[in-house]
Amino acid sequence: MSAAQPILVFGSTGQVATELAALPDTFCLGRAAADLSDPKACADAIRAHAPRAVINAAAYTAVDRAEEDEALATTVNGHAPTSMAAICHELGVPIVHISTDYVFDGGGTQPWMPDDATQPLGAYGRSKLVGETGVRASGAVHAILRTSWVFSAHGANFVKTMLRLGAERDGLSVVADQIGGPTPARGIAAACHAMANQLIAHPERSGTYHYAGAPDCSWAEFARAIFDMSGIDCAVTEITTADYPTPAVRPPNSRMDCTSFTQTFGLPRPNWRASLSKTIAELEQTQ
């Protein structure tokens, strides 16, 4: 395996994949080149590209739609990464797989540890858990990186939604009883890139890790910060999850303990306020 070989990234248009494409020595595969609804095609792509490492940044992320389309969500989020990991094991290359806080039931108030018992509340979480299980069982050198509340200047996310709605309205009602760590996609990309390279030299670092922004906050608090930093005059009224029903149940507690990640890979939790400021500035430059 040569350092000249790229890190193969599944995904090209998502928030994290877009950031990974900007990093050195990465080669991103979009849906046309590797459709995750066809797990064998994903394995074939890895074999054809012979990368030094693989990062799976592609997923079925429509949380509410997954409740009615769990079979497809499970193929994309579960069977495809399982197939990727199996070929990675065969070829002797590490795989980094991005997962989610939705594998937990969101109970309590303590941050979730990587080895805490999983109990997804809905189809999306169940589909992601299938992928985690398959990657672990493959025998491949791997890192499963669970993250939450992803935002960036790309794609669809809470920050861009708040900026759009805040500019149109005098006030918004935002859920205040779900707590988590908003996480910049750029930070996730950098973390995955570093993990992939470190796993090549240190396969003993295989495992499951958490990576989320700090400090933890509610969606309502996050919304206020977005409006404050962007200079938008929009009042935020705090509501409960029950006031804003959705097809898929959201975990009320998405706090993530990132200690093992920071200790193992030497990277800190990202400060979401600093990243939010950069994201808003980036969006303003593109307007």
Comparing CA positions, the residue from 143, 123, 144 lying closest to residue 249 is 123
Is residue 124 flagged as an active site residue? Answer: yes
To the nearest 10°, report the CA torsion of 111, 128, 146, 132.
Answer: 110
Position 280 scores a pLDDT of: 97
Burial code of 69-90, b = ≥16 C-beta within 10 A, e = fewer? Answer: bbebbbbbbbbbbbbbbbbbbe
Contact between 52 and 106 (Cβ < 8 Å): no
Residues of the chain with pLDDT under 70: 1-3
pLDDT computed for residue 30 by the predictor: 87
How much is the pLDDT for 31? Answer: 84
Considering the candidates 124, 209, 211, 244, report the single residue annotated as catalytic: 124
pLDDT of 140 reads: 98
Residue spans per domain, the chain: 7-157+184-212+254-270
From residue 69, alpha-carbon distances to 27, 57, 64, 74 in Å are 30, 20, 9, 9
Q: What's the confidence (pLDDT) of residue 3?
A: 60
3-state secondary structure the chain: CCCCCCEEEECCCCHHHHHHHCCCCEEEECCCCCCCCCHHHHHHHHHHHCCCEEEECCCCCCCCHHHCCHHHHHHHHHHHHHHHHHHHHHHCCCEEEEEEHHHCCCCCCCCECCCCCCCCCCHHHHHHHHHHHHHHHCCCCEEEEEECCEECCCCCCHHHHHHHHHHHCCEEEEECCCEECCEEHHHHHHHHHHHHHHHHHCHHHCEEEECCCECCEEHHHHHHHHHHHHCCCCEEEEECHHHCCCCCCCCCEECECCHHHHHHHCCCCCEHHHHHHHHHHHHHHHC
Given 3.30.540.10, 1.10.287.130, 3.40.190.10, 3.40.50.720, which CATH number is that of 7-157+184-212+254-270?
3.40.50.720
Sign of CA dihedral 236, 237, 238, 244: negative
Q: What is the pLDDT of residue 34?
A: 86
In this prediction, residue 78 carries a pLDDT of 98
232-253 b/e with 16+ CB inside 10 Å = b? bebebebbebeeeeeebbbbbb
Tokens of 103: 């594998």
